[in-house]
């Protein structure tokens, strides 16, 4: 019995010793090893079927405590090439728009549907970023000509149908107020009258659908308005999809870009214009 007690004390002592030794070894506060910020190249480009290249934007990332603007992050002097359909188009930096690179608009440089394009960017310090996109096929909004030109605003749904893009089946809709000459925001639109609403708002994602009910609250202004449908490629769709949703974590977006960050996507667009009146 006496030996049992001794053994019991020994075991208890051992338990405490092991635990407190472990606590001491591991420390009471967790060491946090710093993440080193490293500047990365960010590219942004959207090719639209049967349109010239609008622009490819080349920027860098900024530190979290840095005051940033589009100009301050712009990377100038980059070599930017978009190649596809047998043509390698070397883009030129736009005057007055640092970091924006655009094509010399010739008929040969019109983006072709169902064609794969490669982006090559070499920035002055030697870093290279590449990405690839395949442009969706075109489609058209059904009965566009029969759509009433003038629509009186009401709270409800606006239906729109389109034909299928043969290559891709993901679509987004957008509503853009194109009459910038007048400030005529729609009042009581979700109660947001204190801040200036966006000129463009986009609707929901439509996977394998060719019909949308555009809700009234995506219209922010009276006047000339474009209703657009874009068939988007995987890169474009993935990016938009990742912008959705909320979390207490930082959103860590995954890109289909080698050597940097950003989106090199493509789409095919059709739109109709209406005049929205009270």
Partner 1 sequence: MFSIKPIFAGILLALIIVGYSPVQGRPEGARATLSGYLRDITNGEPLPFANVRIMGTPIGASTNMSGYYAIPDVPLGNYTVRFSLIGYKDFTRDLSVDSLRDFPLNVDLVPKAIVVSEVVVSAEKIAEEKNIQTSRIVVQAKDLALMPAVGETDVFRALQLLPGVKAASDISSGLYVRGGGPDQNLILLDGTVLYNPSHLFGFFSTFNNDAVKDIELFKGGFPAEYGGRLSAVLNVTNKDGDRVSTHGKGSISLISSRLTGEGPLGNGSWFLSGRRTYFDRLVALMGLDKGKDPLPLYYFYDANGKVNQNIGDNDRISFVGYIGQDNLDFNQTDNQINVNLAWGNTTGAIKYTHIFTPTLFSNFVVTASAFKTGLTADFSGSSAQFENRVSDYSIKGDIDYYAANEHFIKTGFWWSQYRFGVVRKFGGVTYYDIVFRPALVSVYAQDDWSIDERWSMQGGLRFEYQDASKVMKLGPRFSARYNMTDAITLKAAAGVYYQYLNLVSNEAFSFFDMWVPIDKKMETPRSEDVVLGIETHPSPEYDLNVEGYYKTYANIAEFKQEATRAVEINELFDIGKGRAYGVELFLQKKMGDLTGYIGYSLAWTYRNFEAINKGNDYQPKYDRRHDVSLVASYKLGEKWKIGLIYTYATGQTYTQAVGRYLLSTRERQNDEILAGERYNRRLEPYYRMDVSITKHTSLWGVNGNWYIQVFNIFNHRNVWFKEINTGENPALITDVRLLPVIPTFGVDFEF
Token readout for 205 is 């994602």
According to CB under 8 A, which one of 50, 66, 87, 105 is a site residue for partner 1?
66
DSSP for 196-254, written as a single string: PPPSEEEEEEEET--EEEEEGGG--BSEEEEEEEEEE-HHHHHHHHHHS---SSPP---
Token readout for 150 is 């003038």
Least distance (Å) between residue 79 CB and partner 1: 21
Could you say which residues in the range 216-245 bind partner 1, by CB under 8 A?
216-217, 230, 234, 236-243, 245
Least distance (Å) between residue 223 CB and partner 1: 19
Piece of the chain touching partner 1 by CB under 8 A; list 41-49, 110-118, 119-127, 138-146: 41-49
Could you say which residues in the range 249-268 bind partner 1, by CB under 8 A?
249-254, 261-263, 267
CA distance 188 to 163: 34
Per residue in 67-83, is it b (16+ CB within 10 Å) or e — as a string? eeeeeebbbeebebbbe
Binding mask 154-193 for partner 1 (x = CB under 8 A): -xxx-----------xx-x-x-------------xxxx--
CA geometry: angle at 153 spanning 152 and 156, to 5°?
A: 120
Judged by beta carbon, residue 63 or residue 145, the one nearer partner 1 is 63
Piece of the chain touching partner 1 by CB under 8 A; list 88-96, 107-115, 134-142, 149-157: 149-157
Per DSSP bridges, beta strands 261-277 and 41-48 are parallel
Least distance (Å) between residue 140 CB and partner 1: 19
Task: Work out whether 59 is an interface residue with partner 1 (CB under 8 A).
Answer: yes
């Amino acid at each position: 019995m006496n030996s049992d007690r001794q053994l019991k004390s020994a075991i208890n002592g051992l338990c405490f010793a092991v635990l407190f030794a472990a606590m001491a070894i591991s420390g009471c506060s967790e060491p946090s090893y710093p993440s080193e910020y490293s500047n990365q190249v960010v590219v942004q480009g959207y090719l639209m079927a049967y349109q010239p290249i609008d622009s490819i934007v080349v920027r860098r990332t900024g530190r979290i405590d840095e005051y940033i603007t589009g100009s301050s992050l712009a990377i100038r002097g980059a070599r930017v090439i978009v190649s596809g359909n047998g043509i390698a188009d070397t883009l030129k930096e736009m005057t007055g728009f640092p970091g924006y690179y655009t094509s010399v608009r010739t008929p040969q440089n019109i983006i072709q549907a169902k064609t794969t394009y490669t982006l090559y960017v070499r920035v002055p310090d030697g870093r290279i970023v590449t990405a690839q996109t395949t442009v969706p096929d075109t489609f058209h909004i059904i009965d566009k000509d029969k759509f009433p030109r003038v629509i009186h605003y009401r709270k409800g749904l606006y239906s729109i149908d389109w034909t299928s893009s043969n290559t891709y089946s993901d679509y987004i809709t957008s509503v853009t107020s194109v009459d910038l000459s007048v400030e005529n925001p729609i009042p009581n639109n979700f109660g947001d009258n204190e801040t200036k609403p966006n000129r463009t708002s986009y609707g929901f994602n439509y996977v394998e659908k060719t019909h949308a009910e555009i809700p009234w609250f995506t219209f922010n202004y009276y006047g000339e308005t474009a209703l657009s449908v874009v068939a988007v490629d995987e890169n474009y769709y993935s990016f938009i999809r990742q912008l959705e949703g909320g979390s207490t974590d930082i959103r860590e977006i995954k890109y289909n870009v080698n050597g940097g960050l950003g989106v090199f996507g493509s789409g095919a667009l059709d739109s109709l214009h209406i005049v929205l009146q009270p």
